A and B are shown apart, each in its own frame.
Chain A
Amino acid sequence: MSGRPIATTRSASGMPTGLLAVWWVIVSEIVIFGGLLGSYIMYRLAHDAWTAEAAHTNTWIGAFNTLVLLSSSLAAVLAHRAAEAGDGRKAHHLLWWTFAGGVTFLCVKAVEWSIEIRAGYTLASNTFWSFYYTAAGLHALHVLAGIIIIAIVARSAIRNLELHRVELIGVYWHFVDVVWIFLFPLLYIAK
């Protein structure tokens, strides 16, 4: 609790400051992804020919990645429950499972993209692929940021420090999961 202003400890809205801030972050992220995905949907609906391009995304890899993220979200919420009960050790353990899920997701994506790039589907080959890499890339950046923060929170958690942060990173991580829940049908199923 060193160096924290009294301002941070107040809670006139009924919600702890950190959690309130995370929700505001989520709102601003909703409009970022919303703008990008809205633009994609506009183009996609108007370009029938993109169906031909979209057929080349690998639905099974996409589905596997969805499974990975869903599972890592499960780990994150279980970590939150452990943190609430004051069990820093268990929270730490579960957060590392969450981390592992994020890393798996990124590795699978790296492999998937290298296959696609070698097949000639690059960022600039067609506007469908431009959106594909931009949207999934922006999402992957958020996954990367998330796993870094998860690692930091996990390291404090094992010493039973800053346990409230487990919930905070959890909420962010679930949001990242929700974005993928929409990206998956948009990029992989709608063919």
Chain B
Amino acid sequence: MVGQGAERLSRERAARRLANEARGGSLLMASTLLAPATLMVALGLVLPILILLRYSFNKFDPRLMMVEAVTLENYVKFFTDPFYTNVFWTTLRVALLCTLVCLVLAMPLAYVLARSESRYKNVLLMLVVLPLFVGNAVRAAGWMTLFGSKGALNAALLEVGAIKVPLQIMFTEKAVVIGVIAVNLPYMVLTLQSVIEGIPRQTEEAAFSLGAGPWTMSRRILWPLALPGIVAGVILCFILAMNAYATPVLLGGPQFKMMGPLVFGQFRLNNWPFGAAVAFVLMTATLVLTGAANLLVQHRYRRGRSP
């Protein structure tokens, strides 16, 4: 069986190669099509990132701001000072928590949207997208009026007598988590919805007809088939949460620190070398974690598919 399969695969590959060559210059064609985007990314992203990396090895001088040097002191400062490592762990904690909550909240909603045959489906989808029409800062401003000590929420709770003193939500981690979830949820819902839509309904019906309950079906059929999309949604959400700026600044207040605002703060102080180092720590951590998650899931996915 295995031998036959491998033979068929290599035959298919050869046929594909022949077909490509017959079309003539398809490789050239492909590179021409890829070139503009590659060039844009190289010039607009890779080059500035390399410059930033170089800055992160420079020295800071209060008078001259940035002095050319090759030193690791900015990174050492970050990793040896508990203040900065705390900021890092807070960021990671908030990002993971928000991603998890988004996943749990988005899954049922995405499922209903994907399987809905209502003529209002497009309206429902629009309602999910609607919050994205408003900028993050504006949305945070909305939360501020809701969460403030004399905001709508506290006023209502005080009025009905549920609480005696106003709840302190503004300028806490709670407020940031709620704000970030609200920002990221539509992304998660949309990603999951499109993936679930691609899973044939018949696979679920087959499971049900074989006696699986809804829970078993979700666990054994829906979850594994939707896994690539779930990973995409989780990664998207996680990256957005790790790099959140407006929400932690506006809802977290001055005493709450996350990496995004920390990077900005260092550049405001004109401490470019340290700002660059913090930016690199954030970027590397995000990349490594998303890469690791991706690899892990791919590994399990492949193992799950093998007979």
Q: Do A and B bind each other?
A: no
